[in-house]
Structure 1
Amino acid sequence: MQVRWSDEAIEDYHQNIAYLLKDWSATVAIEFIEDTEITIELIKINPELYPLTSHKDIRRAVIRKQISMFFEIRDEAIHIIRFWNNYQNPNKLKL
């Protein structure tokens, strides 16, 4: 199954890594990267493992307790839409 990243997801992903490197450590940043890769592999095996959101056909995977990844399965591909800091106001999330 192919994985396609939206421009927003790429930007969010890199911003999260930059933040972790700046304010935490390289170890924590690497753990986030590895957790993201593991989550994507799990989605490939079982896309329905993660719950649907209130947005049609969009699912949410918690990467770490602070960060969620929103994705959908479409055209036999995983479309990663956004990464989201779970401490932000969810009403500001644009999917």
Structure 2
Amino acid sequence: MRVVWTENAHFTFDSILTQIENKWGEEIALEFYLATHQKITLIEANPYLYKESSIPNTRHAVISKQTSMLYEIGLDAVLILFFFDNRQEPFI
């Protein structure tokens, strides 16, 4: 299934990636980048792989101990909604 990123997904991903790079360096930021794209590849193949969130029609994929993403499964595409810090757990 095709994956589409929302503007908010791009913004929150870039923000988290920048924070990781500033705090832990380029190598850790690259690890996060690769882990995220690995999860997205898995979602392309099996959109129902990760657990449902408390928000209707959305799923919650843990990228790392610190970061997760929320996505929605549509008829012909998976829509990545946003990334967030797991310590905040925004309404999932």
Q: How high is the TM-score relative to the length of structure 2?
A: 0.93
Q: Give the whole-Å Cα distance in 1 for the aligned partners of 2:21 and 2:90.
A: 25
* Cα distance in 1, alignment partners of residues 69 and 29 from structure 2: 16
Instruction: Establish whether residue 5 from structure 1 lines up as the match of residue 33 from structure 2.
Output: no
Counterparts of 1:2 and 1:47, CA distance in 2: 10
Q: What RMSD, in angstroms, separates the aligned Cα atoms of the two structures?
A: 1.3
Separation in 2 of the partners of 1:89 and 1:2?
27
**Structure 1 residue runs without a partner (length 5+):** none
Whichever residue aligns with residue 6 of structure 2, its letter is: S
| Secondary structure of 1:54 counterpart | coil
Whether 1:62 aligns to 2:46 is no
Q: What does 1:1-95 align with in structure 2 at a 5 Å threshold?
A: 1-88=1-88, 90-91=90-91
Please list every run of at least 4 consecutive aligned residues from structure 1 whose deviation after the TM superposition is greater than 4 angstroms.
none
Aligned length: 92
Note the residue ranges of structure 2 that are not aligned, 5 or more in a row: none
Deviations 1:33-76 (A, max 9, x none): 10011000101111111000111110000000100010011031
1:28 CA displacement: 0.7
Of all paired residues, the percent bearing the same amino acid is 36
